[in-house]
Chains A and B, each alone.
Chain A
C-alpha cells in the first residue's frame, strides 16, 4: 500500500469512542491488550517494552502479559492496579477508536463516569466463570446513567468454561433480566476469551455455536451516526470574535441540531430574535453546520450576544430555569453538602448554585434508593439545584451537551461532581403541598367581612361573575379573554383576566402537568376568581382545564350562580395550526409531557353556558357573544 491509498482510506474513517469497565480479575486489560495486539495497534518497540515488563511484573508466566500494555503510571504498575482513566488509540481500515479504559478499583464510579461521558459505546466484561455479578450491574447502571447508547456485553474467559453455550446463554438471560430495569437501548452479547484470542479479532474455532460478529467486527460496524441530536438547535456561544470594527462573529461548537444562513434564531436568555447572516468555518462559509463542528455565526442585526448565551430556533427552545433536578455523581472526598455554594458549569456558562434538596441516594450495586442528607465520594444521588441565574438546558437523555454540568468547589477549585439533568419539572418531585379538600390545619376558621355582598353589588352596579374559558391549546382562550377584558373595561366595567400561562409563571410556578397538579392549579385560580368577584371585579379565567371534575370544582368554589362556562370548541387539527408554533410538535415528540389533546385527554364540557366554535368565529364575534350572554342575566 502507498501513502495516498492509506490517506484515502483514512479519510473515510469515522471515530468511535468506547469505555471499558471491569475489575482487575475480569481480564479487562488483557482484552484491550488483545484488541491492540491483534489489530496491530501496538508498535513493535512498545511491545518489546511490554515483553521486558512481563518478565518483571507479569502474572501469566512466560507468555506476554497483554494486560501490561495498558498499564500507565509507575505507581499503578507497582500495585498491579490502574487508578485512573487511561485513553488508548487504535485504528483499523474502517474506523478509528478511542478507548477510555476505566479502572475497576475503588474509584470506579468517578472513573467510569468520566470515561463514559464521551463514549458512544460501553463494553461490559463478565467473567464466564462467575456470571452476572454486582459489579456487572454497577457498570450497566453507570452506562445507563451517562446515557451511552450502545452496550456490548463481552462474556470473557470462555476457555475456562469449556466454551459452553449453556453457560453463555444463562449469562445472557440473567443480564437481560437485570438490564430490563434500566434505560439501555442497544445490547449485544459476544462470547470471548481475551487471553486466547477467541472472538476478539479472530472468529473462534472453539465456539461454532456462536454465529455473531467478533468484538472488533462489531465495533467496526455499530451504527453511531444517528446517536447525535440533529433536531434541536443549541449553539452555546463560546467566544465573541471582534477582529476589527466591521466584524462581529460568535464562535462555538454546535451542541445539537443544525444551523443555516437565513434562519431566524433566538438568543437565550434575552429572547431577542435575529437572522443568521453567515455560518463560517475555518475553511470558509458553510450552507449548514451541525454537531460536533466548531464554527462561527454572524447575524443580520447588531444584537447583544455574549459568551454563555445560546442561539436556538425560535420554535424549539430549551427550558430556562433557575431550578434543576439532576442525577449527580459525587467525585470528592469532601461530601456534597446542602446549603454550600458551588460553581456550576454547563455548556459555556458558569453560575453559582447550591443543592436545595437531596431526594435520595442510589446504591450503585443494588439500585436501592435511600433518603440521605449527604453524598459521599463515588456515590450517586438525585438533587435539586437552585442557581443564581437561570440556565438554558434540555434533559440529558435528550441532549447530552445541554443536559450535563460539572460542579466545582469554590475554595479548592476542584471538580467535585458531575450532573445529568432530568426530564422532569422540579415541582414534580419537590414537596409541593397539593391541597386536599380539607385545610391542613384544624385550627383555622372562616372569618367574615364587615361588608356584605349586597352592599358591594350596590356600589358596583353589577353582580360580578367569573367567565371561565376552556378549550384546547390554540383554541383562542387568551386572545378572547384579553379582548373581552378590554371591551368590558371600555364599557366602564371593572374586569380582570387570570390567564393560565401567567398562572404558571406566578401563583402556580411550583406545579407540573400531572392530573393532580392541574387540579391544584385550577383550585388556586378559582379561589382567586372568587375573591376578585367578591371585590367587585368581573373575572375572566382562561384555563385549558381539560377535566370535567376540575371545572366542577371551580364551579363549586366560585359558586354556581357566578360561574359562566364558555367552551371554545375549535377541533384539534385547527388548534394545532393556530397554537404557539412548534408546541404541538414538541408534544408529539414527547418533549412536552402530558400535553392535552396529544398525550393527555380533554374532556368536553357536558353543559357549557356558551359554546364558541372559534375556528369559525372571529375574535370580535366571540367577544360579542359572551357580552350578549352577560346582558341576559
Chain B
C-alpha cells in the first residue's frame, strides 16, 4: 500500500549575489509503500537532503506536492507531524540542557502521555543512560547523533527520516542501528535515509541523485 506520494516536485533556490536560480530538484515523482526502506543516495549538493527536508515539512516544494498518508505537507497538520520523525545531519541541542530534559520537552510538545518514561526508555536503548542528566554541550558528536535519533524516534513515527544517520557513530552503535532499522521497517513503518555512501544500507531501495527531469 503506497503511503508517500511525491508528485512532480521541484525545488528552486535563488543565489542573489551570483544572480542564479538553482533547480536542486526538478520534476521528481516517487512513491514509497508501507514497510519499505528507501535510501536517497548521491554526492553533496545533489538534492537528497532537500527532498528529505521537504518530506519532513521543513521546506516547501517550489512546484508539485507531497502526500504522506493522504496529508499534504503544505498544510502541516498536527496529524501529519505526529506521523513523522526527522533526524537532521547536524544534531544540535540547547546549551545547559540535559538530554533527558530536552526529550521531555519535545515529548510534551508532541503530546506523549508519559514523556519522562518514554524519554528514559529511549535514551537507555541508545546507550545514553549514564549521560541522560548531563548537559548536551559536553556530549561528543556521536552522542549528539544518538540523541538526534532518540528525538526522531520519540513519538514512534510511521515515517522515519534520517539524514546521514551513520555519521560519527562507532562500529558497535552502527550495527545496533542497522538491526534497529531492520526491525522498525518490519513493523510496517517507513524509513527514508539520505547518505553519500550505501555502506550499512542493505535492503534499502536506492534512489540515486541527482535525478534527471521527470525520472
B is a partner of A: no
A: residues with CB less than 8 A from B are: none
